[in-house]
Amino acid sequence: MTFNSFEFLIFYPIVLISYFLLPHKLRWVLLLAASYVFYMWFSAPLFFLILFTTVVSWICSMVIERTDSLAKKRLCIVLTLVTSLGVLVFFKYYNFLAGSVMSLGALFGAEFDLTISGLILPVGISFYTFQTLSYAIDVYRGDVKTEHHFGYYALFVSFFPQLVAGPIERPDNLLPQLRQEHKWNEADAYAGAKRMLAGFFKKIVVADLLATYVNSIYNSPETATGIGVIIASCMFAVQIYCDFSGYTDIAIGCARIMGIHLMQNFNRPYSARTIKEFWARWHISLSSWFRDYLYFPLGGSRCSSFKRWRNVMIVFLVSGLWHGAAWNFVIWGFLHGLYQIIGGLTLPLRERICEKLHINRKSLIYSVWQQVFTFVLVTFAWIFFRANSTADLIHLIKTLFVGWNVPIGEAVNAMGLTLNGAITSILAILCMVLIDRLVPHEEKPLENGAFLSDRVVTHGRGGVLVWTVIAAWLLLLTGDGASSFIYFQF
């Protein structure tokens, strides 16, 4: 079941009420059972995969803790890496690799079929695999204590709010909170409910509405125009942010009501002034995972310049591949790596140019320019991310540069973008920007016990947002707007 489904509206209140009615020592049982039910709603047989990954990583971690032999510790960590990554690689990348080999063979006239039909990608596998790996590696390094209670560990791996699309939690943040007793707290409940409302608004009102216009271009690239590709790509940039951060907001809100604080995953990424800053604000749990478990072990930036940029490119290629088993995702990752390398290499030159031209790099105008330029770079890369195939991608990029022989009005109409639709989209995006600024990520209590956001998100305003979400949901039910979350496919 997804967060924006009728089943979840029944499931979550039942779990929540039961959670606070049960004594603390039984709560992990309830949450674990609920998490497995939540997961099995997608696919019951694939539940055994997550169970397998959980059992293997837990046993290996226990052995790592109990043995003094370095060789045994290494064997256990390698076993954990091989089994967890092996399962991920098989289910996610086998058909992609097989297809690539077949295409290569076809170049030499060899015809054969290595693909496995019916091989489905287990929901959330990329997320829970990385979560188990971070636990196993941290135990191996001695950074966290081993969790001896299998139930709590299994719950850490499968905690339903963040199971299928993150945030990718770290053991030192989530495990202690799962063990801690949480009493009903009005402040947590209020903050969590507001966060969930913000998430539903972003997903249902903004992302799903924009999806209809994005799909009109990306699902039919042969009829696209240059202006259509630009508008659809900008809309996709907003759509994917609202879709993913909306999911994260709902996940964080769900957990917050139970008194559990999940890590933040977004920090207004389109306010970034550089690509490096963008990745410190976008999908923070994944970028920090890659930083700690791939970039730093490779040497990070504490090596020669060549190795530093090599490490950056490796991280972004792997990140691209993590997002999807297709060459356009790899190219997307490559682009971001290239952006960072070029940005890093040209920084001294750009600073000298600004000095010569007396440009104040701390001025508002310069800051706006940087944000716009970064947005353009990121949005161009999103074309590679969103394209349905390599052929579509080539067509879209070509259209971007040569597809300008249609009047702008006609091109916009061809997307199905009416005046009503355009005004609705602009207002919805404005609401999203304001909500991101008004619903603080961390509720800071004021001196009189109230919360800052109490002043700005009043009950009346909250009511309007609820009605807007309901109206958008009804509209989408009658149309064919997107309903699943984009990041579920990863």
> Which span (67-75, 176-184, 305-313, 456-464) binds other proteins, by CB under 8 A?
456-464
Q: How far apart are CA 185 and CA 110, in angstroms?
A: 66
To the nearest whole angstrom, how small is the minimum distance from the Cβ of residue 207 to other proteins? 14
Among left, alpha and beta (phi > 0; psi -120 to 50; other), residue 259 is left
204-233: contacts with other proteins (CB under 8 A): 205
From candidates 435, 443, 485, 487, binder to other proteins by CB under 8 A: 435
Q: Is 478 in the site for other proteins (CB under 8 A)?
A: yes
Q: Is 420 in the site for other proteins (CB under 8 A)?
A: yes
Q: Is 23 in the site for other proteins (CB under 8 A)?
A: no
The residues near 260 (Cβ < 8 Å, ≥ 6 apart) are 174, 177, 178, 182
Q: How far apart are CA 95 and CA 89, in angstroms?
A: 10
Q: Is 458 in the site for other proteins (CB under 8 A)?
A: yes
Angle at 472 between CA 470 and CA 478, to 5 degrees: 105
From candidates 120, 423, 446, 450, binder to other proteins by CB under 8 A: 423
From candidates 109, 419, 444, 448, binder to other proteins by CB under 8 A: 419
CA 379, 381, 383, 386 dihedral sign is negative
From candidates 50, 242, 431, 482, binder to other proteins by CB under 8 A: 431
Residue that is written with structure tokens 């089943």 in the block: 7
Which three-class secondary structure state does DSSP give residue 266? coil
Helix (H) or strand (E) run with residue 438 in it? helix 419-438
> Which span (100-108, 163-171, 269-277, 471-479) binds other proteins, by CB under 8 A?
471-479
From candidates 44, 187, 303, 456, binder to other proteins by CB under 8 A: 456
Q: Which two tokens stand for residue 434?
A: 């304001």
Q: How far apart are CA 343 and CA 23, in angstroms?
A: 54
Among left, alpha and beta (phi > 0; psi -120 to 50; other), residue 225 is beta
From 24, 148, 261, 323, active-site residue = 323
Q: How far apart are CA 363 and CA 366, in angstroms?
A: 5
Q: Is 250 in the site for other proteins (CB under 8 A)?
A: no
To the nearest whole angstrom, how small is the minimum distance from the Cβ of residue 209 to other proteins? 8
- Concerning whether 283 is annotated as a catalytic residue, the answer is no
From candidates 15, 154, 465, 486, binder to other proteins by CB under 8 A: 465
> Which span (32-40, 57-65, 227-235, 432-440) binds other proteins, by CB under 8 A?
432-440
Q: Which residues are catalytic?
A: 323
Residues that bind other proteins (CB under 8 A): 205, 418-421, 423-424, 427-428, 430-431, 434-435, 437-438, 455-461, 463-465, 467-468, 471-472, 474-475, 478
